[in-house]
Amino acid sequence: MTSNKKSVQVFIEILKKNNIRDIILCPGSRNAPLILAFSHDPFFNLHAIFDEKVAGFVALGMSKISRKHTVIVTTSGSAILNVAPAMLEAYYSNTPLILVSADRPKNEINIGDNQTMLQKNVFKNYCHHFIELHENNYIKNAQRFYHELSTFNNSETFHINMPFKEPLYEMTPKSIDFQFENLKSKELSKTDFSFLENKKIAIYISEIQLDEYQKQLLDNIISKNKAIVIPEILSNYHHQKAIYNFDFFNGDYKQEELPQYLITIGNQMIAKRTLFRNHKNWKFKHIDCANHNRKWKLSNDFLFIKDELNHLLESISNFEFEYQWMPNSLNIKKTNQEAEFIDYLKTQIPENASVYWGNSSVIRHAEQTNKYSNKNILNMGNRGISGIEGVLSTAIGSKLKNKSIQLFCVLGDVSALYEINSFLWTKLIDSFTIIVLNNQGGRIFERINSKIPQKSLPYFKSYYPFEIEKLANTAEAEYVQIKQMEFDKIKNHLNNSFEKKIIEVIFED
Ligand SMILES: Cc1ncc(C[n+]2csc(CCOP(=O)(O)OP(=O)(O)O)c2C)c(N)n1
């Protein structure tokens, strides 16, 4: 049995055809047809999360691991907008996500009923595809959905809006017979990269999930001196000869000391000062390699290559020449106790773990202390557009998809409290270690600008004196407290056992 709404039946067929199985259901009445249909179909893996903001990030975390679309199903009205932060992050980090919102029929909107609003394309600036599937008149748009979902690689976001009229809870046996139109195969254009031969090439890698083949190509490039490679922590690329310094190009170099070609791979960079925009005199060609269209020009001389990462790396790797140059690596790393702690923490995190680095100071310290590691650790974070929200729920989602992995999530105290709801949803997973760096408020602002007037400082810090131990009660986790002077004691709490643990590290300056 399934919902009697044909648009729902077709939607489900399209997901199945694309082998999309992970569904997060956010309860509601308008979306009852979707909930009824999904819950009667054993093909799908279902989770129920009533908090749409958390649901969005959990879905994001699942997609980050599976590299397939996860579907969030919401009811109508404000529920949808609660998914916005996760939708935005997915959009900017090229993470596949589908938001399906139930809606009222057009003639029932803006006529005085509560809990309705104009939902059509609400994410128009932050979503790759918007499609409306009407209850009866759906065939054309359903074909479009099928085409766009099947044609675009797994890095795009969809908002599907589905108006339903009452009654909403009627069930029938499946009653559609949807004919999938044949897909036209996409012609992949291949750029000739021979112009890179004998040139000074730098490859900067920001957040990305490289496959083993791509890593091998990079290993070959770097070990045979075809290009210098600068990986950020979220690239999870490691090589003894890589340059771990996101400030690498921020020095006062002469033109001849710098590469002629800068190739960027991956999503947004961790820090905007890395963006090479200070180099008014440095002439280089920027080649950006992405799998969706973006305008990320770091130089007027710009080439955008879509979906050609493998071909680009293969071409460079096949070149005969070796470079004979190496700019002096500039080191302007500032350090503090928290950065030192993070540096130490990395040495103690067990092999094969997955670490979610929170935003604000944490990810910056994690990047600052990024260096070669032969440990197999997956470093994750939300650096598309997210601020301090949603990192823990994203981590929860990733653990749901990758149950065997030991999960760590490192957050500042404000970030942890901002996301207090997510501590409730740790119940979805059976083990985790959350590390809260408690420096009593948001301290990043005074680090960026030491001249913030005393009178204004409390409004930047917005310190909320809350016992982190209470978060452990909410998450039904063991609680450990460590003081800054003895931060190395953390090593006693990071063993390989799988348990629920919250470790608070207190920093006072
Ligand atoms: C959603 C959102 N709101 C506001 C901000 C602005 N913001 C940036 S950092 C920060 C404070 C973070 O404090 P904490 O998590 O304790 O980190 P730390 O003090 O270690 O930098 C705030 C409020 C943001 N990034 N995201």
Q: List the one residue out of 356, 424, 401, 393 whose CA is nearest residue 85.
A: 393
Residue 41's pLDDT band, with cuts at 50, 70 and 90, is very high
Cβ 439 under 6 angstroms from ligand 1: yes
Residue nearest atom 11 in ligand 1 by C-alpha distance? 442
Distance CA 80, CA 88 (A): 13
| Cβ(89) – ligand 1 distance below 6 Å | no
- 361 CB within 6 A, ligand 1: yes
Helices then strands, each counted (H, E), the chain: 16, 19
**Does the pLDDT at position 429 exceed 90?**
yes
| Span 153-186, pLDDT tens digits | 688 999 999 999 999 999 999 888 888 888 777 7
Asked if residue 413 has its Cβ within 6 Å of ligand 1, the reply is: yes
What pLDDT sits at residue 113? 84
Q: Is the pLDDT of residue 141 over 80?
A: yes
**Residue 328 confidence (pLDDT) above 70:** no
Which of the residue ranges 146-150, 209-213, 256-260, 486-490 would you say has the lowest mean pLDDT? 256-260
* Ligand 1 atom closest to 444 (CA): 21
For the chain, percent of residues with pLDDT exceeding 70: 95
Tokens for 470, please give them. 């209470």
The CATH number for 193-318, chosen from 3.40.50.300, 3.90.1170.40, 3.40.50.1220, 3.40.50.720, is 3.40.50.1220
Closest CA to 421 of 3, 51, 35, 41: 51
User: In this predicted structure, what is the pLDDT of residue 324?
Assistant: 72
Look at residue 37 and tell me whether its pLDDT is greater than 70.
Answer: yes
Residue 331: per-residue pLDDT: 59
Ligand 1 binding pocket includes 382 (Cβ within 6 Å): no
- Is the pLDDT score of 452 beyond 70? yes
The preferred substitution site among 270, 386, 388 for testing ligand 1, maximizing ligand atoms within 8 Å of CB, is: 388
As a CATH number, domain 2-167 is 3.40.50.970
pLDDT tens for residues 271-324?
776 656 666 677 889 999 987 777 778 888 999 998 899 999 999 999 998 877
Distance 442 CA to ligand 1 centre (A): 6
Q: How far is the CA of 383 from the centre of ligand 1 (A)?
A: 13
443 in contact with ligand 1, CB cutoff 6 A? yes
**At 184, is the secondary structure helix, strand, or coil?**
coil
**How many A from CA of 467 to the centre of ligand 1?**
18
CATH architecture assigned to 337-506 = 3-Layer(aba) Sandwich (3.40)
Distance of CA 310 from the midpoint of ligand 1 (Å):
37
Q: Report whether residue 72 contacts ligand 1, using a CB cutoff of 6 Å.
A: no
Between the CA of 267 and the centroid of ligand 1 the distance, in Å, is 21
| pLDDT over 90 at 196, yes or no | yes
For ligand 1, the distance from its centroid to the CA atom of residue 415, given in whole angstroms, is 6
Q: What is the DSSP string of 319-344?
A: --------PPPP------HHHHHHHH
- Check residue 259 and give its pLDDT: 87
Beta sheet of 432-438, edge-to-edge order: 378-380, 354-357, 407-412, 432-438, 500-506, 478-483
Range in 238-252, 306-320, 403-417 with the lowest mean pLDDT? 238-252
Cβ atoms of 276 and 253 closer than 8 Å: no
pTM of the model as a whole: 0.96
List, for residues 349-388, the tens digit of each pLDDT value: 999 999 999 999 999 999 999 999 888 999 999 999 999 9
pLDDT beyond 90 at 187: no
- Count of Cβ atoms closer than 10 Å to residue 426 Cβ: 25
134 lines ligand 1 (CB under 6 A): no
Q: Is the pLDDT of residue 334 over 90?
A: no
- Minimum-distance ligand 1 atom for the alpha carbon of 413: 16
Q: What angle do CA 287, 290, 293 make, to 5 degrees?
A: 100
Domain boundaries of the chain, sorted by first residue: 2-167, 193-318, 337-506
pLDDT computed for residue 292 by the predictor: 74
Q: Is 366 in the pocket of ligand 1 (CB under 6 A)?
A: no
pLDDT of residue 277: 63
119 C-beta closer than 6 A to ligand 1: no
Tell me which of 88, 92, 360 to substitute to probe ligand 1's pocket, judged by most ligand atoms within 8 Å of the beta carbon.
360
Long-range Cβ pairs for the range 76-79 (8 Å, 24+): 76/28, 76/30, 76/31, 76/101, 76/102, 76/103, 76/104, 76/115, 76/116, 76/117, 76/119, 77/115, 77/116, 77/117, 78/115, 78/117, 79/26, 79/28, 79/52
pLDDT of residue 327: 65
Q: What is the pLDDT of residues 72-81, one digit of tens each?
A: 999 999 999 9
Give the pLDDT score at 185.
74
Confidence class of residue 60 from pLDDT cuts 50, 70 and 90? very high
Q: What is the mean pLDDT of residues 437-451?
A: 94
- Position 270 confidence tier, pLDDT thresholds 50, 70, 90: confident
Give 414-428 pLDDT, tens digit per residue: 999 999 999 999 999
Mutate to test the pocket of ligand 1, among 270, 338, 415, 421 (most ligand atoms within 8 A of CB): 415
Atom of ligand 1 nearest to the CA of 462: 23
The response to whether residue 264 sits with its C-beta less than 6 Å from ligand 1 reads no
